[in-house]
Structure 1
Amino acid sequence: MTACTFCSIAGGELPAVLVYDDDRLLAFLDHRPLFPGHTLVIPRAHVPTLAELPEDLLLPLFGLVQRLTRAIPLALEAHGTFVGINNRVSQSVPHLHVHVVPRRRGDGLRGFFWPRQRYASSEAMQEVAERIRLALAQA
């Protein structure tokens, strides 16, 4: 098994510039930020995706994310933040991490980072919604 970069950071084997540290969570600056202040929030324990996050970490993790969405604009005179999570696809490190990115009007980011598309019809949209509702009942 390949060593997990974020587990190595959490274990102190790799350096990171920390902005928060407790027994369950870490927040540190991304080494390749979209903008200065781009922060990653991780559970210390190895959790690959949000779907696998233990329920007892859900509130602490998102509580910290919420606090950072308040703190980062104050600290950096930003207008707001973008919060994002990749689950497997585009996940550069296979360890759950939440991006909290400072945003400013006119900063060049355009909403989501990928092209948007419309549903073929309202019926197609309803079919997708029904499939999700059925899967949600099983999740």
Structure 2
Amino acid sequence: MKTEDFYCDEVLSGKTEVNKVLDTENVLAYHHTRPFYPVHIVAIPKKHIPSFLHLEESDDGLLLELLRVIREVAATVTEENGACKVITNIGDYQDSKHLHFHIVAGKPLR
């Protein structure tokens, strides 16, 4: 299992270029670099937060901004594809230990 933080180490540092969907002061949404679905967008806070379970009261404003971005991206994906899923993983299901949400549509590619 990977334990590094792909989002901080690669995406937010600029080492890995991504196709941005929405970029705000505190949140980035971009097309997944190795998609599992025909439409696969990832939304991440720019602040390192290990997982959904690590959110603190001081993160409330960031969480609201993150949810606004997810809602906007999900609305666009749903408009274009008829439906979408919003997914986050916790614990052993979470490869990269940085809070992130997947906005996906279509049948899995793998």
- What TM-score do the two structures reach when normalised by structure 1? 0.66
* Percent of residue pairs identical: 28
Cα distance in 1 for residues equivalent to 2:97 and 2:4 = 10
Aligned counterparts of 1:12 and 1:47: Cα–Cα separation in 2: 18
Who is 1:9 aligned against?
Answer: 11
Give the Cα–Cα distance (whole angstroms) in 2 for the partners of residues 19 and 88 of structure 1.
27
Aligned match for 2:29, one of 7, 27, 30: 27
Matches within 5 A, 1:49-68: 49-53=51-55, 54-68=59-73
Higher relative contact order (CA closer than 8 Å, sequence separation 6+): 2
Greater gyration radius: 1
Cross-structure match for 1:71: 76
Task: Note the C-alpha offset of 1:36.
Answer: 2.4
Cα deviation, residue 37, structure 1: 2.2
Shift of residue 14 of structure 1?
A: 1.9
Unpaired segments of 5 or more residues in structure 1? 109-139
The aligned residue for residue 92 of structure 2 is 89
- Consecutive unaligned residues in structure 2, runs of 5 or more: none
Could you tell me how far apart the structure 1 residues matched to 2:52 and 2:82 are? Answer: 27
Q: How many residues align?
A: 103
